[in-house]
Structure 1
Amino acid sequence: MNFDPKLGVHCSSDMHFSYDDGVFGPAPEFRQLNAIRRSLRDPNCKGPDPVYSIVMDVGRESDRAEMQRRMILYGVVAYAAGRLGDEPVRSQGHIHAIAPHCGWSTPELFEIWEGLAIIYAQERATDDPGRCFAVVANPGDKVVVPPSWAHCVINADPNRRMVFGAWCDRQYGFVYDEVRAHGGLAWFPVFDAEQNILWEANPRYRRSEITVREPRAYPELGITPGTPMYQQFVADPESLQWVSQPARVEKTWDHFEP
């Protein structure tokens, strides 16, 4: 790891996870290449398999009750190095399901631990995708995807793995139908000859524009710059309550930019 998330979770070279004393977490779930093919630019491509591993609900034992009470959950994901045909290693893309406890599709707060990531997000997965953003993030950077947006996470460097953590709702669920019906999201990331990422429009959507940007600070959400986001929860759990109760900052989501 080249960023310390202050959590005591470690990722091995084979994308397994280990936990320090006093830290809880499950065995990883591995996402196989066949599970995401329908949303790739080339569904028949070759690439690393598994594509990524994920552990949901990790944290310090001393924080477990507070996380449960606030309906918030921390997950960690490791992406393999390599490429999926001409595309970088990535997830297939989804929308967060409506959480029964709050009646909202909930947001997600990402923090990059290792490698180079792109968080891609579009307003919706209908024929008109709305605004589309690609946020390029390095270790320590944070990115917020707002409620109801379709999104995926990309390992932008084919020569090394990428690891990130994320705060999300405890009643998380993923909706894939609209993304799969369009053969993926509105823009495909594609490597050029120098391993730079270019963006190719998915013709199954109406014409759209993509904004490529660096992460921003999100002062409207009370995110503390320079503080690992797990540490922010420990210091001030209320400051991240919008993750599981997005209605508390309902107006913030109007015209929100990731």
Structure 2
Amino acid sequence: MGKELEFYGKSHSPDIRMLHDMDEVVHDQQWLRSQENIELYYMYRDLSADENDHKKIVENSLRYDVTIIPPAMLGDEYVKTAGHYHPAVEGHNISYAELYQVLEGKATYLLQKAENGKVVDVIVCEATAGDLVLVPPDYGHITINASQETLKMANWVCRDFSSLYEPIKKLSGGAYYLLKDGFIKNPDYPSVPEIRYEKPHDYPEANLFCGTDMYVMVKEIEKLDFLVHPQDHPEIFGRMTSV
């Protein structure tokens, strides 16, 4: 696969996630120790169709990215992203959200919420091309490609913070690993709730609908304010967080 991404006629080079960038979070450590440092997936950050779009995106504190994850096995585990949480919005007891859309292939999103160092909710959402998956505030998240196809996905996210990788690294990955035979609990977590399965949703409050390319939101970018000021938009997060 070529590493350059064509986006609206412009070519973009990726940040590359290597296997040994993932050493702390891979389930099959015996397999890992025998492996060379191969490329796993590709991240194309801060994309835009043209300078006018980019100016509008930046002025609204947003960023549009694309990630490409070819199919692979990490020993006994399906290939996945490293996983991260988002920090809290300054002055508020709520973290930033993130919006994903599958462009090609299939994705399994693992979302987990921690309170006082304990995971209290785990959501799995399986998505195919066109589907939207919203990561609510306070949920860490990992994307898994459990298919034989290349996964290509996009995300909208606030550009004003850095993601937090350490909380997932220090516990050897997410609360669950996805192996060929299904999910297994990560024994490094003191307790893990059972998985809740959710389906992708439309978000009509923000004019977001599965099957519609979410990049077009640049034309009404104010509707993505829930990614920058989640404290002002509790109504949009209820579908995924209601237990």
Normalising by the residue count of structure 2, what TM-score does the alignment of the two structures yield?
Answer: 0.87
Q: Is it true that 1:170 corresponds to 2:159 in the alignment?
A: yes
Q: Note the C-alpha offset of 1:180.
A: 1.5
Aligned counterpart, 1:5: none
What is the alpha-carbon distance in structure 2 between the residues aligned to residue 231 and residue 213 of structure 1?
25
Aligned counterpart, 1:224: 209
Q: Note the C-alpha offset of 1:153.
A: 0.6
What is the alpha-carbon distance in structure 2 between the residues aligned to residue 218 and residue 108 of structure 1?
13
**What does 1:123-202 align with in structure 2 at a 5 Å threshold?**
123-124=113-114, 127-157=117-147, 159-192=148-181, 198-202=182-186
**Contact residue 40 and residue 69 of structure 2 kept, 8 A:** yes
Aligned counterpart, 2:16: 30
**Contact residue 143 and residue 215 of structure 1 kept, 8 A:** yes
Partner amino acid, structure 2, of 1:14: G
Aligned counterpart, 1:65: 55
Aligned counterpart, 2:200: 215
**Contact residue 80 and residue 144 of structure 2 kept, 8 A:** yes
Q: Is it true that 1:111 corresponds to 2:105 in the alignment?
A: no
What is the alpha-carbon distance in structure 1 between the residues aligned to residue 225 and residue 139 of structure 2?
19
The number of aligned residues is 237
Cα RMSD of the aligned pairs, angstroms, is 2.5
What is the alpha-carbon distance in structure 2 between the residues aligned to residue 179 and residue 114 of structure 1?
27
What is the alpha-carbon distance in structure 2 between the residues aligned to residue 221 and residue 257 of structure 1?
17
What is the alpha-carbon distance in structure 1 between the residues aligned to residue 159 and residue 93 of structure 2?
13
Structure 1's 64 and 103: CA in aligned 2 closer, same or farther, altered over 3 A?
farther
What is the alpha-carbon distance in structure 2 between the residues aligned to residue 103 and residue 60 of structure 1?
34
What secondary structure is seen at the aligned counterpart in 2 of 1:184?
coil
Normalising by the residue count of structure 1, what TM-score does the alignment of the two structures yield?
Answer: 0.82
Q: Note the C-alpha offset of 1:70.
A: 0.5
1:53 to 18, 39, 42: 42
Q: Note the C-alpha offset of 1:248.
A: 1.8
Q: Sequence identity of aligned pairs in percent?
A: 24
Gaps of 5+ in 1: 1-12, 193-197
Gaps of 5+ in 2: none
